[in-house]
Each structure stands twice: as C-alpha cells, then as structure tokens.
Amino acid sequence: RMSELSGRVQKLVVMLVTSLYASRHGSEVVQQAANVYCQSLAQELTGERPTDRYYRSITELGTRVADGGFASIAGLQPDEILMPYTQEA
C-alpha cells in the first residue's frame, strides 16, 4: 500500500513541476507537450480512458514537432536508418 501511495504522490509532484515549468516557458509547443503529459498522468491516477480530444491534441503536437515547431530540435537532420524495413508487394 505504501509503495502505491508513494507512486501516486510522485505522479502528482511530476504534474505540478511539469505544469510550473511549462507555464514559465515561452514556447507554445512546450506548453502543449506539458498539457498532454499531465493529462496522461491524470488519466493514470483517475483510471479514465483517453478521449478523442486527447488523441487529437497528441496528433496536433506531433505534427507541430515534426514540422519543426519544437525549437530544441528544429533544423536537426536525423541520421539515415541503417536497417530500414522493406515493403514487398
């Protein structure tokens, strides 16, 4: 029981720290990522299932990151995949 309670408290602290960091950060992408992460933690704590709105926000965040909206990785060129999957017809 104590370890389960400790885990729940840790998740709540992570939510608090994440939201405080994002609120002070100027990037909307960082704020959106923090929001999605906090929603995920809240769902774990409450047992709620993800909603369509949650999935839409994750998809939108992924699109923004892929389009270079996350300044920390914008402009980086990913390495070539060394062993790509080949699709056979």
The model's confidence at residue 89, banded by pLDDT at 50, 70 and 90, is low
Nearby residues of 29 by Cβ (< 8 Å), 6 or more positions away: 61, 64, 65, 69, 70, 71
Q: What interhelical angle do 28-46 and 52-66 show, nearest 10?
A: 150
* 3-state SS assignment for residue 1: coil
Neighbouring CB atoms inside 10 A of 18's CB total 17
Contact call for residues 61 and 36 (beta carbons, < 8 A)? yes
How does pLDDT run across 22-61, given as a tens digit for each residue?
999 888 999 999 999 999 999 999 999 999 999 999 999 9
